[in-house]
A and B are shown apart, each in its own frame.
Chain A
């Protein structure tokens, strides 16, 4: 294990992924990789604790507060623990016209939680999202930020929850 890894909060794989992002920008502009670095850290850790943010800051040579500003500005970063599966439902107008509202209500009822809550077993967190740029696929939802689920009928929601619950 390298010295860098010994002091790392993140796995070697995550660090390599961050390094690939850093390489996209001019050598003196490592800060440009902060959004990716936070995303990679969040995927590994589940959410962004202060220590994780501080680690990313140190890794990119940024003041921790500058990284925190980014983490708190963009709404897909989670600054508090979330369930194993974070479901974000779009309820913006175009989706709402094709069932976005009903899809959200159905999820609330099935999971027994409201928006911004997590099930007692820690499996699911439910969020209401803003436009995801997929309005033609309404109702649309994201699973853990990166997996987009389209045309979510009641049947497909049932199936999704069943698959995720396994």
Chain B
């Protein structure tokens, strides 16, 4: 199994065979929050106030305050309103939601039921990345357990509150992690993002008010209700409440998910992940998923892992996907692979992104293959600037930010490629550093 370490909120350090089961979750204090809400008939606005107090911020990438988002929902709106969970985890480097669904799906289910209660919604959908089909099936099995126990469905636990929840799967489109593309996909269409405004809180699924949150965000809710918003806030630091799952991949000894308080130094996280593979030197880290700007080792080693500190250093906490690269990494080649990804995954709707991502990829590709031109570096930045802010959704920015940051921090390496028509790091060194590494697997 994946290396896991927990501090008691979302994964609780659990990763056993049966931890996903309702029985196991109940033993861990599961559904206590929901039962409390039902028994004490806690007013919905009090729940939203508690979530606001916790300073929980969206765990999918944007870091938007969850309580504030919930307060945008028009509770009094007559008719259908929806809750959607975004488990379409396809941002390279991110693999936390898979473990939540795999090992603790009832925390997510309970969080969504509470969200439905707080926002007056009767139906929810969990949109699950198509590539993790086993987790889709597990989530359906967990839903069946919850229905059986009257935790889901009509008149939950004998109350007047009813809520139904279903699983929906993607089938291979990164763009569906964008919330309005996700809604289009849920409606049975191509996943092409919608123009905003209107925002989903007023025009969402089937044109009805809808709130979309990330898996980890929902899974944090039971703790917040059970222990109180303040307890959650105190786990992290002001404006950055709680713990966060960090998915550590790349050149470390123990890639895996690590749940740590926000504000933990990067050096500690690196240690948790077993340190650098082969004792090699850290070169660079992408701290928040492939779309976040890369940072060189010198900046990373002084950084704490929270939204504000990483933003101040010029990057993003994003989804908490920490991609670690050591000295054997060719930064041009690394960027080439990422640029190909955005080119491949652009939905094609907006011209700057559709054409620009291809342009970026072809330029980085030719630099990597010894055909770079002197003017390419400037042009890479120029094309990036012309994509950013000029598209309907953030995929354009996501494609441009890695390019700009790689060139900014590792410009010398790009210039070397252009001048010498080869890599600064010899190919055999690269190959050795990134060979198949499975020693940590059990």
- Could you list which residues of chain A lie within 8 angstroms of chain B, going by C-beta atoms? 24-26, 29, 31-36, 38-39, 60, 62, 66, 69-70, 73-77, 91-99, 101-103, 129-139, 142, 145-148, 150-154, 156
Contacts and interface: CB of A to CB of B under 8 A. Distances in A.
B296 interface: no
Nearest to B192: A73
A98 B255 contact: yes
A23 B396 CA distance: 36
A63 B324 CA distance: 47
5 contacts: A24-B125, A35-B169, A60-B188, A94-B290, A131-B91
Contacts of B435: 99, 102
Contacts of B91: 131
B95 A135 contact: yes
B125 to A, nearest CB: 8
Contact of A69 (B89, B189, B344): B189
B438 A151 contact: yes
B320 interface: no
B250 A97 contact: yes
B230 interface: no
B130 interface: yes
Interface in B219-264: 247-251, 255-257
A146 B256 CA distance: 22
Interface of B: 2-3, 80, 89-95, 97-98, 125, 129-134, 166-174, 185-191, 206, 247-251, 255-257, 290, 321, 323-325, 329, 334, 337-338, 341, 344-345, 347, 431, 434-438, 441
A55 B3 CA distance: 45
A122 to B, nearest CB: 23
A69 B249 contact: no
A101 B333 CA distance: 12
A138 B436 CA distance: 8
Contact of A31 (B187, B257, B341): B187
B436 A133 contact: no
B131 A133 contact: yes
A103 B257 CA distance: 23
A130 B89 CA distance: 12
Nearest to B88: A133
Nearest to A37: B188
A73 B190 contact: yes
Among B89, B91, B95, find the residue whose CB has the most chain A CB atoms closer than 10 A: B95
Given A134-B132, A136-B255, A139-B436, A70 B90 contact: no
Contacts of A24: 125, 166-168
